[in-house]
């Protein structure tokens, strides 16, 4: 400590600032600190970030209505004649306790062009979507979300039900509005029942933290061809829910495997409707 006497001065300064700051400006000031440069370093090893317009789009409501369930849609907006393909998309919620919400890897032949999921948002925050293209470069798009107010909190509303649902899986296919069966594109949704404890909640009685317990891996195949893989963190909402578009390869079934941080493996498969819906 004494190697850095300046720090002691800093501490004294902070105390003075706290006293006068509290007296003069009682309202909490907004945090001007921008974590993004640090996140680029930590998550992306400081690789160059290129402008993502024309490559990747991110849609979220401007205000998080429910802190525990904020819908987010990631969309590839590459021109149809662009020869590059999206290899992976990383979703970063800058001000969350664990900013890296998810990384999606897109199957080489599945032509996934849109992914929707739901995340927890703790604070006013930038949210970044970083697409890695087959040219090896990273492209970033950004949006801003206001934290929800009121009694909303990034915690389970009905913990008993969430627990009872653990490991249940649902699969749905949807008709793509505005696109006939000839477009070839399908839309599907996978739901996994899981409480997704963040590990940031302290039990008031025991003063112990409820351990983190969440789905950290989800993989989707058409027969044996990879469609989508997600690595998830604690920012993914409980009961992880992924809705995505893809182009069928003629496979008879869709297969899903999910893992959580306690090593549970949840598997399921469903016949797909090849009628063109």
Partner 1 sequence: MHAGNYFADALGDTPKAQRWMNVLNTATGPEVQLKPKTAKCYAPQFARAIQKSPRCSAWRRHLTFMNQMPRVRGANFGKWVPVCCNAGRSNRDTREAKKMLHRLLASVVLLMASTTAQAEFDPLPVDEIAPGIFVHLGASELMTSANEGAIANVGFIVGGDAVAVIDTGGSVNEGKKLLAAIRSHTDKPIRYVINTHGHPDHVFGNAAFQSDSTTFVGHRNLPRALATRGHFYIDSFRRIMGDELIKDVVIVPPTLLIDDTHELELGGRPLKLRAWSTAHSDSDLTVVDTRTGTLFAGDLLFLAHIPVLDGSLRGWLKTIDDLGKVDARRVVPGHGAVSDWPAALSDERRYLDRLGSDVRALVKAGKPMTAAADTAAGSERSRWDLFDDYNARNATAAFSEIEWE
**DSSP character for 175?**
P
DSSP track, 49-65: EEE-TTTEEEE--SB-S
Residues 6+ apart with CB under 8 A from 64: 70, 121, 145, 146, 147, 148, 152
Rounded least distance, CB 82 to partner 1, Å = 26
Residue 268 buriedness (CB in 10 A; 0-12 / 13-18 / 19+) = middle
Nearer to partner 1, 32 or 250 (CB): 32
Rounded least distance, CB 138 to partner 1, Å = 14
DSSP track, 202-228: B-TTT-PBPPPB-EEEEEEEETTEEEE
Rounded least distance, CB 168 to partner 1, Å = 8
Token reading at 75: 């969309």
Token reading at 15: 């105390």
Nearer to partner 1, 38 or 54 (CB): 38
Residues 6+ apart with CB under 8 A from 54: 77, 78, 79
Rounded least distance, CB 217 to partner 1, Å = 10
Nearer to partner 1, 34 or 82 (CB): 34
Nearer to partner 1, 98 or 268 (CB): 98
Nearer to partner 1, 79 or 205 (CB): 205
Rounded least distance, CB 83 to partner 1, Å = 28
């Amino acid at each position: 400590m004494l190697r850095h006497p300046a720090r002691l001065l800093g501490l004294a300064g902070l105390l003075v600032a706290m006293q006068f700051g509290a007296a003069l400006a009682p309202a909490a000031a907004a945090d001007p600190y921008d974590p993004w440069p640090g996140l680029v370093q930590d998550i992306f090893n400081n690789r160059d970030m290129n402008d993502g317009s024309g490559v990747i789009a991110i849609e979220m409501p401007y205000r998080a209505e429910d802190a525990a369930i904020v819908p987010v849609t990631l969309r590839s907006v590459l021109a149809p004649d662009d020869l590059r393909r999206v290899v992976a998309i990383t979703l970063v919620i800058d001000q969350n306790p664990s900013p890296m919400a998810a990384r999606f890897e897109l199957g080489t032949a599945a032509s996934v062009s849109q992914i929707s999921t739901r995340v927890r948002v703790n604070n006013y925050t930038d949210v970044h979507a970083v697409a890695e293209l087959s040219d090896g470069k990273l492209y970033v798009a950004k949006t801003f979300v206001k934290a929800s107010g009121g009694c909303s909190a990034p915690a389970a509303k009905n913990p008993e039900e969430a627990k009872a649902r653990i490991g249940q899986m649902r699969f749905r296919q949807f008709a793509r509005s505005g696109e006939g069966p000839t477009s070839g594109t399908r839309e599907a949704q996978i739901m996994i029942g899981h409480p997704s404890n963040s590990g940031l909640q302290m039990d008031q009685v025991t003063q112990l933290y409820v351990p983190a317990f969440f789905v950290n891996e989800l993989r989707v195949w058409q027969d044996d061809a990879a469609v989508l893989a997600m690595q998830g963190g604690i920012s993914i909402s409980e009961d992880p829910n992924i809705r995505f578009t893809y182009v069928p390869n003629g496979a008879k079934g869709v297969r899903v495997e999910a893992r959580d941080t306690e090593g549970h493996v949840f598997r399921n498969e469903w016949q797909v409707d090849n009628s063109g819906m």
